[in-house]
Chains A and B, each alone.
Chain A
């Protein structure tokens, strides 16, 4: 009954989405007044139905109802409860259902809470949200039904991928999805504004909190994903420029650009067309990222390959939504009155530079990700585009971007003089010079990117707190705090990346129990190796005792796990987090002579990478609170961030 309830809820939600789209767009007609108010409750009920369907799926998974095909294929009764539940979105159908659930909830949130947007634009926005949801409901119902029953239930499920059996799965995909799908609101706002030709500072102010909200989750999702890959994959890497990672980075880059351009639109009524386009692009990147990468076309791995029917379905949806929005943009945006003019040397000038660089990085990532596909379809040659390209092509752009991020907030809106700007950036510039001298002196022979990264991080950290200088901190608006914290987070993260790249130390060795090996400042005694049994796996556990100088020894226990449903081995790393870095240990396979492969890394200040990511998200949250609370909003808006 549970599966049938879920299916029926899904059917009702799909019908409501259709109604929502019809009413939302219908409200734009001259006689559509009455529809304006009625469309809101429809969106809310639609979301309630979708949430019901998703709740039913969770219930099926937590009970491991093997008569449901999806559960039988992707779960097992022997799994721990946590993974029986998170397994609901560790597969294609379940993750799709989670995707539309978030979409529906986002639409309902707009319907319930949005008060600033002009009524007609709002109705069109909710209509657009309904239209998007409808397509994906159809996709679920026609080709990816998560509630399909099996005629004969198996005795046991096929199990769940061991690499996904990690608490990270409970947090990371939902967070990332809220970010991806949250951007649909900005997309729908843009479509609504294009339909009503109403792109104004008021529109920007209404859109900003929604973009911020999605962006916070996207930031957290990417940060969490990076850390998860770091400890789960067991080789110490934290970013691989894998197509799936790029797919999460591209919407983030677009959303970050959008956040900044929306500020220009809200404050100075400039960059109208550009902002609308970014709003469309950000969610388009989310959709392209979620579906095309998983289709297996890009990764050159058939693991996730959609069958042609599903692939074609998704492709048509993307063509309709993204193509439709971009065509609407091309046709309509010229009729939107042009925004304000502004001076190149000004806050908005710096924000334009920020947008330019973010878009260029986005372009590099997009081109680099798709280039192998382009080459293969044109010439049949296989090509790989990996870290060496992305680091070389996007790295320098990112460093310039950080420099602009440091200087931009010190410029005034409207117009500024280079001399006064120069005076304001004097202190951070001095920090950069001191850092450069210090790094060059202490660490000769450092590679250029890590060197510039370290130096710029120091300067950017100093510059990011400059907007608080000589300011009454208690009266400083919360969104200024938000900007400061987020920019500081970028500097912190950059410092972590540069430090990891420059100072990591690695020891790969085969050792016998009782031996002592060294990595970085640590002496590590390989104390023991023992067999252990987990809930659904067996493992060998190494006991490593690490000491540095006279400090208290740390015990680490990396494991090599063997799962049998499905059969697979995973290396569970053991990581000790210290104030000044992380000690990362992995035990590999046994080798002749009673020895075991050990992989050990000492990574100074590597945690700053993710701490910075969290800071960025916290900054976003502060900003969001500051924007949503109406106090002193108008005056601050006029004055912008500058003192």
Chain B
């Protein structure tokens, strides 16, 4: 529920503005004709964070800027650009924040190592416990 609450409240700043009167870009609400390209675009859009509502990906957002971002992603994918290149373009403009997929760099090494480290610690505790118990 609080997720909804939070998401609902995210919309509020938008409500400060009147609606833009321009018709949205067609590619913001229609798919690319090539299913493979559309799938690549969709996968990328799912991982780009909406800079307006902030709590959703641009694939799930009703904000106008999110629509324009979807359109630009579809155009660039259709033009043959690689999804990761588009992600890098977005990050170069809006920072790491805009990608839901944390880029692998020294700042995020601990994050990506977390699952392995956690399991290793768990194994150590469990193994120690079992062995200690067997010896006791």
Contacts and interface: CB of A to CB of B under 8 A. Distances in A.
A and B touching (C-beta < 8 Å)?
A: yes
Interface of A: 90, 161-164, 168-169, 172-173, 176, 225, 228-229, 232-233, 235, 237, 240, 242, 244-245, 247, 293-294, 299-301, 303-304, 338, 340-344, 349, 352-353, 356-357, 359-360, 363-364, 367-368, 371, 375, 379, 381-389, 393-394, 396-397, 506-510, 566-569, 571, 588-589, 591-592, 597, 599
A237 B42 CA distance: 13
Nearest to A598: B29
B28 to A, nearest CB: 9
Contacts, number: 185
A301 B6 contact: yes
A364 B114 contact: yes
A270 to B, nearest CB: 8
Contact of B55 (A301, A510, A597): A301
A244 B99 CA distance: 19
A164 B102 contact: no
A510 to B, nearest CB: 6
A228 B8 CA distance: 13
B8 A386 contact: no
B118 A363 contact: yes
A240 B9 contact: no
Contacts of B7: 163, 233, 242
Given A235-B59, A386-B57, A568-B11, A242 B1 contact: no
Given A304-B9, A360-B122, A388 B4 contact: no
Contacts of A244: 2-3, 5-6
B85 interface: no
A589 B55 CA distance: 21
Interface residues of B, number: 56
Nearest to B61: A235
A303 B31 contact: no
Given A567-B15, A591-B24, 19 more contacts: A163-B4, A163-B8, A164-B5, A172-B1, A244-B5, A303-B12, A338-B136, A341-B133, A341-B134, A343-B134, A356-B119, A360-B118, A368-B114, A385-B102, A386-B49, A389-B101, A508-B29, A568-B12, A597-B29
B5 A381 contact: no
Nearest to B49: A384
B89 interface: no
Contact of A386 (B9, B30, B100, B126): B100
Which 5 pairs from chain A and chain B are nearest by CB? A386-B100, A303-B9, A341-B133, A388-B101, A163-B8
A101 B87 CA distance: 47
Contacts of B122: 356-357, 359-360
Interface in B87-136: 95-102, 107-108, 110-112, 114-115, 118-119, 122-123, 125-126, 129-130, 133-134, 136
Nearest to B107: A375
Given A161-B9, A393-B114, A588 B29 contact: yes
A385 B134 contact: no
A235 B118 CA distance: 34
Contacts of B3: 225, 229, 240, 242, 244-245
Interface string B63-101: 000000000000000000000000000000001111111
Contact of B100 (A164, A371, A385, A567): A385
B117 to A, nearest CB: 9
Interface of B: 1-12, 15, 23-24, 26, 29-31, 42, 46-47, 49, 54-57, 59-60, 62, 95-102, 107-108, 110-112, 114-115, 118-119, 122-123, 125-126, 129-130, 133-134, 136
A304 B30 contact: no
B96 A240 contact: no
A589 B15 CA distance: 16
B5 A90 contact: yes
A261 B130 CA distance: 15
19 contacts: A164-B4, A235-B60, A240-B3, A240-B60, A244-B6, A359-B122, A364-B114, A364-B115, A367-B114, A371-B111, A383-B96, A383-B108, A384-B100, A389-B101, A397-B119, A507-B31, A568-B11, A591-B23, A591-B24
Q: Which of B9, B10, B42, B56 has the most CB of A within 10 A?
A: B9
Nearest to B123: A356
Nearest to B25: A591
Contacts of B101: 386, 388-389
A387 to B, nearest CB: 6
